[in-house]
Structure 1
């Protein structure tokens, strides 16, 4: 019989982290995350998301052995968002699901739902781990290759377990991949060339010596550009501080561009070398010697894959030809540097909402293809 209990204390937290490594050890495409990163994610003092959210972690046990885990959480900012954008009043979430079998999964999801009901919530979205900005959605397509940095990966069985609990798809997210060693189609190159002749446009690298100022510019554009998107919750100052600390070691000036028009920053593109290529064999641990290997890699990363986790252009420009032109220019400039300075051959863009026609059009025009699909599920919670 499976029993569920809340996580209390350091030993429970350690068990909550450890179970993912045990259950996924036989999956050749699962990349063990750094344990320190997971610990930071679930610790309120280390994750700015908790400044506006509350979470409860649960463990599943059977015959004295941990057989699964789940998180249940309510985000007070998400409750204030328009319901047509995914969250809204009465909406809670759960995530970080790991289970040895369907019985454990069903019990864990039921425990998360009970916790949400206890806080007066009437609808559940999941999996979301923990913030929509971290690892949203269940992988439902693309199990045959490893995820890139900051992307989730799970076993295929989870889909049937979640759907058996009464959940139905609410939104799909996709990632696109492309061979970046090939030049883009002639039409794209003509658009880029025209932009280069326009004296109003400037595409610049970020200045890492002014990291705080540059991050503020990018996140200001992001909160404006994404504000109408499904699932949007604005990033708060504590989260911005934490994201900056987390990303700074893998931020390289050649891989991040800010687009200015008449001197005003109006768009950005962030690209990250695929850290998973470096940490894949670490088993989630930096000690005793993996920290030195990681530092050596970070000095001059040679990464096959570059991931574009975030792009954005101010809302007032999004329906204009200028928006696409700026996007193509940033993509092309970063593509060149990724090949020349990092030895990269492959790009991954996403995640992208499956109804984001602007980004889908850009992805199609540069001849990329969908390689992974994630699904966020929803369910009405009866009283």
Structure 2
């Protein structure tokens, strides 16, 4: 067998090869959704990704017989290093992700290279896969290979799980997504809780105003960083990241799909819902040219989708142990459920990811009769 070589990504051509590899590895997988190549390049280009304002990364490519056969990213988030160790990150914790490989030999060589890079930076523990920010595509898909992922969720080959575990990595955390039929009304108990909240003059659930994008984003960011601050794996989102995410997601941000709940005039909860962009980009095979851009722009004018995804929601920490927390969550979900069906023709919702030990959110998902449809796993190993 021809020798395998691992080289760092240093040029624009290297980054292009890094992005192109999954298109070959997944070309026969009907459930893989090809990303837009421009977006994929932006995520690994420091000048285009605000995450790099507090992180550093080294990408690697594996070559055999003159072609690229694997890729991986080794990275360190300096904000993650400052977080409490009990929450998953902390001092000495590096990460790897964006892993794809033709076979286990390639994967093992890439992983060894990533680990060596992390050791050279003083890291003593590795978490993976995290691609690349915890807010992007964390975890390896281990359940739910039989249907496509929704927008901003990952896909993977089933054999990757065995490769990672044989490399000495142990599971540390699972992330779950839930799906539900949103054309159906919620159970009677949930409906009573919602009606009670709607009668409470202290509670207002409002749409965001896209014309005040930065102001509304600041409100949501404030709630998010408070609500999620005790969660495993939490790293605060920063203004550069919010700015870049805003540019990327603004075309699929619609006022009636993002709601803020106010209690006596104070913003205390939010829910973000996105039309499943993957339904629109799947046929484009990563390219906007020659005609993909026109199809996508037409779709963005008024999306008609099957699935809506809820990537983020939260209630401020001081209310999380109160009955109001679940009531506000149910009210937000119901308001957006109605809009999703009436205004976008959606019939399916997907909530997540949710940590497997987040009892509050898992209880809410169960109460509205949703079920786990995908599970992602994060692994760890001492370096």
TM range (shorter): over 0.9
Q: Could you tell me how far apart the structure 2 residues matched to 1:42 and 1:66 are?
A: 17
Q: Please list, as runs of the form range in 1=range in 2, the aligned pairs for 1:50-129 lying within 5 A after superposition.
A: 50-129=52-131
Q: Could you tell me how far apart the structure 1 residues matched to 2:344 and 2:38 are?
A: 26
The secondary structure found in structure 2 opposite 1:281 is helix
* Paired position in structure 1 for 2:338: 336
* Paired position in structure 2 for 1:362: 364
Q: Could you tell me how far apart the structure 1 residues matched to 2:52 and 2:107 are?
A: 25
How far does the alpha carbon of each residue in 1:120-161 deviate from its partner, in whole angstroms, 9 at most, with x for none? 100000000010000000000000000000000010011011
How far does the alpha carbon of each residue in 1:200-239 deviate from its partner, in whole angstroms, 9 at most, with x for none? 0000000011011000000110000000000000011111
How far does the alpha carbon of each residue in 1:291-327 deviate from its partner, in whole angstroms, 9 at most, with x for none? 0100000001001000000000000000110111111
User: Which of 120, 142, 145 is matched with 1:143 structurally?
Assistant: 145
Q: Which runs of no fewer than 5 residues in structure 2 stay unpaired?
A: none
* Paired position in structure 1 for 2:35: 33
User: Which of 317, 337, 341 is matched with 2:319 structurally?
Assistant: 317
* Paired position in structure 1 for 2:351: 349
Q: Which runs of no fewer than 5 residues in structure 1 stay unpaired?
A: none
Report the count of equivalent residues: 381
* Paired position in structure 1 for 2:171: 169
Q: Could you tell me how far apart the structure 2 residues matched to 1:63 and 1:179 are?
A: 48
Q: Could you tell me how far apart the structure 2 residues matched to 1:63 and 1:374 are?
A: 33
Q: Could you tell me how far apart the structure 2 residues matched to 1:49 and 1:285 are?
A: 25
How far does the alpha carbon of each residue in 1:250-275 deviate from its partner, in whole angstroms, 9 at most, with x for none? 00011011000000000000000000
Deviation of 1:181 after TM superposition, in Å, equals 0.7
Deviation of 1:63 after TM superposition, in Å, equals 1.4
Deviation of 1:65 after TM superposition, in Å, equals 1.2
Q: Please list, as runs of the form range in 1=range in 2, the aligned pairs for 1:1-383 lying within 5 A after superposition.
A: 1-381=3-383
Deviation of 1:165 after TM superposition, in Å, equals 0.9
Q: Could you tell me how far apart the structure 1 residues matched to 2:201 and 2:49 are?
A: 42
Moved more, 129-138 or 234-243: 234-243
The secondary structure found in structure 1 opposite 2:284 is coil
Deviation of 1:89 after TM superposition, in Å, equals 0.3
Deviation of 1:164 after TM superposition, in Å, equals 1.1
Q: Could you tell me how far apart the structure 2 residues matched to 1:246 and 1:89 are?
A: 31
| Structure 1 moving runs of 4+ over 4 Å | none
Q: Could you tell me how far apart the structure 2 residues matched to 1:107 and 1:190 are?
A: 57
Moved more, 46-55 or 6-15: 6-15
Q: Could you tell me how far apart the structure 1 residues matched to 2:20 and 2:372 are?
A: 32
